[in-house]
Amino acid sequence: MPIKFRGADKHLRRLKAMGPRAEKEASRLVYTLADMHVAEASHLITEGAVSGANHVPSAPGQPPNEDTGDLRRSGHVEKLGPFRANSVFDAPHALPLEFGTSKMAERPFARPAAKTVRKEGEALAKAAAKRISKGGTL
């Protein structure tokens, strides 16, 4: 589920005009945010979970409770190029858990994680922009 924002083309043109160093720093920030998303979603999956015989499935609407660890371990970041990275959970049951099915209510983990990371990411992006404009490093 890509995160999109208004004026992306304008921001990319402005960033490219700032030079290769700014592009590199911004690309690193995009990857960092995707990695933060995977980490936060993994945290939601494992928080309070008990594996094995004592495993209790999560309530509808709550993040899934980890049992085998397959979902959490499937989380990773794919770098797609400059300024593009995807956080991915590619376990076969990731999408049915996130969005539910006709037989099971959703147990979202990626969307709540994105909401949390978005708040942190805005602060990181503002700080990075200030450093880039002043000639510092991230």
Q: Looking at the domain assignment, is residue 31 inside a domain?
A: yes
User: Would 128 be classed as within a structural domain?
Assistant: yes
Q: Looking at the domain assignment, is residue 127 inside a domain?
A: yes
Assigned domain for 2 exists: no
DSSP state of 65: P
Burial 106-115 (b: 16+ CB within 10 A, else e): bbbbbeebbe
Q: Is residue 138 part of a domain?
A: no
Enclosing domain of residue 14: 8-133
In a domain, 54, yes or no: yes
Query: How would you write the pLDDT of the chain (138 residues) with one tens digit per residue?
Result: 555 556 667 777 777 777 777 888 888 888 999 999 999 999 999 998 887 788 888 999 999 999 889 999 999 999 998 888 999 999 999 999 999 999 999 999 999 999 999 888 888 888 877 777 776 554
Phi then psi dihedrals of residue 19, to 5 deg: 110, 170
Q: How many domains does the chain have?
A: 1
**Which stretch of DSSP H or E encloses residue 14?**
helix 8-17
Distance spanning both ends of the chain, measured CA to CA: 26
Residue 1 included in any domain: no
Is the residue at 3 inside a domain?
A: no
pTM: 0.82
> Percent helix, strand and coil across the chain, each rounded to 5?
55, 10, 35
Q: Answer whether 85's CB lies under 8 Å from 78's CB.
A: yes
